[in-house]
Amino acid sequence: MIVIPTTFLWQSFDHPGDTMILGIKLGSNFVTKIDKFLSSWKSAEDPARGEYSFVIDTHGYPQLLLKRGNITLFRAGPWNGIKFIANPSPIPISDEFVFNSKEVYFQFGNQTSVLSRLTLSPLGLPQSFTWNDRTNDWVITDVGQFDQCENYAFCGPNTRCEMSRSPICACLDGFIPKSLADWNFSDWSDGCIRRTPLECSDKVGFLKYTGMKFPDTSSSWYDKSISLKECQGLCLKNCSCTAYANLDIRQGGSGCLIWFGDLIDTRRSTGDGQDLFVRMNASELGVPTKKRTFSKKLAGIVSSAIVAGIGMLMLGIIISMRKWNLRKKNHCEEREEDMELPIFDMSTIAHATDAFSNSNKLGEGGFGPVYKGILIGGQQIAVKRLSKSSGQGLDEFKNEVMLIAKLQHRSLVKLLGCCIHEDERMLIYEYMPNKSLDSFIFDQTGRKLLDWSQRINIIGGIARGLLYLHQDSRLRIIHRDIKASNILLDDELNPKISDFGLARMFGGDQTEAKTSRIVGTYGYMSPEYASNGYFSVKSDAFSFGVLVLEIVSGKKNRGFRHLDPNLNLLGHAWMLWIKGTPFELIDEFLIESCNLSEVLRCIHVALLCVQQRPEDRPNMSAVVLILGSEIPLPQPKQPGFFMGENPHEHSTSSNRHVTYSGEEVSLISLDPR
């Protein structure tokens, strides 16, 4: 005889891991204090607890949440008597939802004819699996499809999100954007505020929204027994009440759900939404608070006021349009030709990259890791994923999207779109099969694969790309991070400038700017930028000069090793130049393939670009001209960040120093080796 114990020390169904099957409950037991939730694996190969979880949140009225750590990513909403309001497709519509004083949970219904399970992937995507008797294997039957409106609080407080609208975010009626400037740039995170403060009096009413996903219920109050009319009365009596609705949609509706404060994460549903009543001042509803009898005199006054109001409105519209047009002109010339950047959803990118598997990882930079992907149509892409620990954040992400989406040149990498999934931010580029330039010129094997004709082509392509940014594009762009790892190579080894996260846009007549936040890469920074924050087209020219010396020599400026430990690559090139032996700089693998006059000219141009004073450096139009001609060139002056003893100076004192802006500064603090 089998004896079934009445008490358990531990049972697996209380700790479901990443998978939910028939009989498992998700929720909380208020008596035993046990919380049951799904938690993802750390990776496809590591079953340790990952970042993501599916939980029943019991603050306010219970609702189903998808979270990453403590951050809410998606909210399925509260239970409406039949289902969770915003039910993502892989989650089964359960007929088993229990909420009482002892516990709250939901579980699969009695669907015994089909063996299925729900799994939370390491990327936080719910996936539905069904057992296939023919193949004796689990088959994915559905994957969570979260559009932008499903991203928690995507539009900010007091808004509604509608995928059929453009833009998809809109303030609730009677509300205005909290930050109009951010709103106009499609940054809706601050949401909206009331046009007029909500009155605590009888001069209020309610605006009905139909087909809505309810706002976040974590700060709500509920009563399962009262009617909708009683619910309205309770809301009117409480000055903090901002909205109300029915709790249960069955049998014509019952129960009361009341919100306090801001209404967060509200969207127009695709067909399963409910009625939401938002509290408004009567003046915002456009109805009088008391019955009035209007005389002909009052009617005349009103008519005059209407005419005057229309006139003022027209004047306001004209003024606003003039201001808007001026702002558009100042921000971006010829804005009418703006490009609309495609938005990729998370599931598409996850599928394309095989859930960001390590086998698809192309590399990692300051922004974060880059993955290779293949879209369903077969197009190859590169996905740059913002790292949480990256020094670059939302501002740099927006900056890159806004700038590169407007730039089109054969020497610039093409941005195909972006993906924003809560705090996940990704840029989708055309795929460059030969990766970045540094993987060739700084690699013992890769250096052998680039002969001189290919290297001079790369140098010329980078120069033409910078000329386009500085002069020929509608926007004057200073890149501020030109370096070997930001030059990508296509299948024919043609260069394409990438990574515009640190770039800055200049006005038509602007030539220089200053920043207190020094960003970029030591070894490529110009002296005036690294010391005082000044940047211009000449600071990009300095970075280009460093890069040319690296391409010619196959050695890095930062971390350069030489018999004289006080010399960096710039100092080494300068010493060879003034000694009349610049050919000693050439990469040993180029000796047989190079054109010595072309190499000498490239070294000459590079030394001109890395001169100490910005005004001594050529601009990129001059560089492109010089590289394509044989015009005589001036002798270069000592480079910025030069270290070493100048043999032209005969002095008993040591000249081992770095000089910029009239000061001497140890290079160790600027360019550690």
Cα distances (Å, whole numbers) of residue 164 to 144, 267, 269, 276, 349: 20, 11, 10, 20, 22
The Cα 118–Cα 92 span in angstroms is 8
Contact of 504 with 540, CB cutoff 8 Å = no
The continuous run of DSSP H or E covering 278 comes out as strand 274-281
CB atoms within 10 A of CB 312: 10
Task: Please name which of 478, 475, 496 lies closest in space to residue 487, comparing C-alpha atoms.
Answer: 496
- The residue from 18, 481, 499, 540 that is catalytic is 481
The Cα 585–Cα 571 span in angstroms is 11
Task: Please name which of 333, 304, 378 lies closest in space to residue 508, comparing C-alpha atoms.
Answer: 333
The Cα 292–Cα 340 span in angstroms is 51
Task: Please name which of 470, 486, 600, 591 lies closest in space to residue 541, comparing C-alpha atoms.
Answer: 470
Residue with tokens 């994460």: 265
The Cα 619–Cα 90 span in angstroms is 57
Give the phi and the psi of residue 122 in degrees, each rounded to 5.
Answer: -60, -20
Cα distances (Å, whole numbers) of residue 20 to 14, 28, 91, 287, 612: 11, 15, 10, 52, 65
Cα distances (Å, whole numbers) of residue 316 to 181, 182, 309, 311, 319: 18, 21, 10, 9, 5
> Is-catalytic flag, 182?
no
CB atoms within 10 A of CB 570: 26
End-to-end CA gap in the chain? 76
Six-digit token pair at 643?
């270290």
Count of helix runs (H) and strand runs (E) in the chain: 14, 35
Q: Residue 13, by phi and psi: left (phi above 0), alpha (psi -120 to 50) or beta?
A: alpha
The Cα 474–Cα 329 span in angstroms is 11
On the CB side of 311, CA atoms within 13 Å amount to 6
Question: CA torsion sign, 174 to 178 to 181 to 182?
Answer: negative
The continuous run of DSSP H or E covering 242 comes out as strand 241-245
Cα distances (Å, whole numbers) of residue 97 to 79, 285, 535, 600: 8, 38, 61, 78
Positions marked active-site: 481
